[in-house]
A and B are shown apart, each in its own frame.
Chain A
Amino acid sequence: MNSRLAPYLTALAVMAALALVPPLIKFIAPDKWELTAHIGIKILLNVGFGLCLWMMLQAGELSLGQGGFITIGAYTTGILVAKYNLISVVWLGYLAGALAAAVIALMLGYLIVHLKRIFFLLVTWSFAEMLHPVLTSFEHPFGGAMGIIDIPAPEGLTLFSESWTGYYYLALIYGFAVLWIVWRIAGSKVGLITKSIGQNDTLVTFCGLYVRKYKVMIFVLGCFITGIGGGILASYLTAISPETFTFFTSLDIIMFNLIGGMGTMAGPIVGAVILSGLNEYLFAAGYWRMVVYGLIIIFFITLLPGGMVSLPAALRKRFTRKTKKQEVGLG
């Protein structure tokens, strides 16, 4: 088999398998389908968000404001499609949401992408936090504290008897489309430039490349894709308010990369699957959720900085080291 095609075929096989989940569960345990679909949709959208951040992390951009770009995508869709009925096609509402996120990312990015590590993180975080009071304060166009209600499903989703199945397939397509885009970039020369910027941006400059251009480009693309996901979420939830996407939304997206590992693309995918599942249970834990988060962060940073994907290698290393010690002891 052609080795260039192998990753695509693997992805298609996984996608096909995931596409068979709805009929299978509906056949085996129809009463479990709603909950399964809900978790599945969350996971697949989160995989997309996590991969966007992974792409930015390659360029050394640690954004704690991705929840803000989800908010922008969701609100733009809601305002245009539901509150004022300015756009009659919901799909175009998603596109508008993505464009709004991209335009704001372009303006913000141009100002801040040259800031290193902690400063970039602080600005993106404070930007996302700024949205909350703005959205709450203005009845027009943001709907104030009540937010926006009656956000319709996209056209064509009514094909399915209940909406969860439709959203599940929509999220499946979204997750794999993001995977494809991020995969293509990572394997391209632009991906090589991005990775190089993350390692040594001064040397990239002295290779004759304008670092700021590439950093803005990646930031804008990541926020554009995240904005589409925000639009889909707005439809899925049917109602959004300033409290829908919080600091924790942004933190989660970083956590996907931390838990899964940032070294490879598999990291944020594994992280999104684990944490999205875990979050459904942690939701019940209320305030204690933060304690669990704190422990998770400390565990991964101190004991497994390479994330879950590095676990097999870490265990192998530990195991071989132990046997070596034993050998020394015997000798």
Chain B
Amino acid sequence: MADRSILRVENVSKNFGGLVALSEVSFHIEKGDFFGLIGPNGAGKSVMVNVISGLYSPNKGRVEFDGRQITGLRPDRIIREGLSRTFQHSTLFFDLSVRENIMMGVRAMADMGLAEAILGSSSARSKDKAIEDRSQEVIDLLGLEQQAEEVAANLPYGLQKIVAIGIAIAPKPKLLILDEPLTGLVAAEVDQVMGHIASLNQQGMTIFIIEHNMRAVMNFCSRIVVLSFGNKIAEGAPGEIQRNREVIKSYLGE
């Protein structure tokens, strides 16, 4: 059982001054899962993602990724371990083209040295080619061919969200964390984005999604954890979560 899990969150607590954002939260995600984290606004979902990805360090508890403790590592190191994340609001390099945005995500970008960049050595050219090939693959995969040379700021919101996913999947992560990828999208865009996410999952990528769109979460997720005021109140398959009295109470009140 232990070797099947890709992410282990153990007793994580996070306070901001007197505010308890997360209190002793534990859960784990197994390889290949389509995992959902839900909860009312202010439940601590984004804080959890920020703790996992190293943006915040937890006051208590630990996070293990692919058998290795990642608590306290620098965010860029955590990303290089094979974990990618997107942000709640469409976060892109708005002045760059779609292609350049996706290139930024490619793992080989980190290997490019200053001297070889200036001299344009054969090693630089082969790295350039690897980066360009991988970004082209991602563009094809997400159907962004027509917008590839477009400046990201000019894209409709739905496509911006897809480009953000493109940056995140460019390094071929083992785990993809999506923080509210559907917020602000119209129904057709929701189907398009969820279609891409589902096909990534079918190709073997573990998905961790935070979302308010219950229909999408219940249709796609295999396991769900529910947070409320920083506490884990439920965990299970979509059917169980929908019947859980605690969950209904936290969403609708008494």
- A residues bordering B, Cβ < 8 Å? 181, 184-185, 188-193, 195-196, 199-200, 202-211, 217, 221
Contacts and interface: CB of A to CB of B under 8 A. Distances in A.
Interface stretch (B21-29, B124-132, B224-232): B124-132
A200 B89 CA distance: 13
Given A189-B127, A190-B112, A208 B94 contact: no
A6 to B, nearest CB: 16
Interface string B75-104: 110011000110100011111100010011
Nearest to A184: B118
Contacts of B85: 206
Nearest to B108: A189
A133 to B, nearest CB: 34
Given A199-B94, A217-B114, A193 B124 contact: no
B39 interface: no
B53 A190 contact: no
Contact of B117 (A185, A208, A209): A185
Given A203-B93, A206-B79, A188 B117 contact: yes
Nearest to A200: B93
Contacts of B118: 181, 184-185, 188
Given A196-B104, A204-B104, A189 B117 contact: yes
Nearest to B100: A192
Given A196-B96, A206-B53, A189 B103 contact: yes
Given A181-B118, A189-B131, A204-B104, A199 B112 contact: no
Contacts of B103: 189, 192
12 contacts: A189-B112, A192-B109, A193-B112, A196-B93, A196-B100, A199-B94, A200-B91, A206-B76, A206-B79, A207-B76, A208-B105, A209-B76
Given A204-B104, A207-B79, A208-B80, A193 B109 contact: yes
Contacts of A217: 114
Given A199-B93, A208-B79, A184 B117 contact: yes
Interface residues of B, number: 35
A189 B92 contact: no
B65 to A, nearest CB: 14
Contacts of B110: 208-210
A210 B85 CA distance: 16
A255 B109 CA distance: 33
Which among A189, A192, A200, A217 has the highest number of chain B CB atoms within 10 Å? A189
A200 B160 CA distance: 15
A192 B114 contact: no
Nearest to B119: A184
B239 interface: no
A221 B114 contact: yes
Contact of B114 (A185, A196, A200, A205): A185
A197 to B, nearest CB: 10
A210 to B, nearest CB: 5
Contacts of A202: 91
Given A189-B117, A205-B75, A207-B167, 16 more contacts: A189-B109, A189-B127, A192-B103, A193-B104, A193-B112, A199-B96, A203-B92, A204-B104, A206-B53, A206-B87, A207-B171, A208-B76, A208-B79, A209-B76, A209-B110, A211-B76
B111 to A, nearest CB: 9
B126 to A, nearest CB: 12
Nearest to B75: A205
Given A184-B120, A185-B118, A193-B104, A206 B93 contact: no
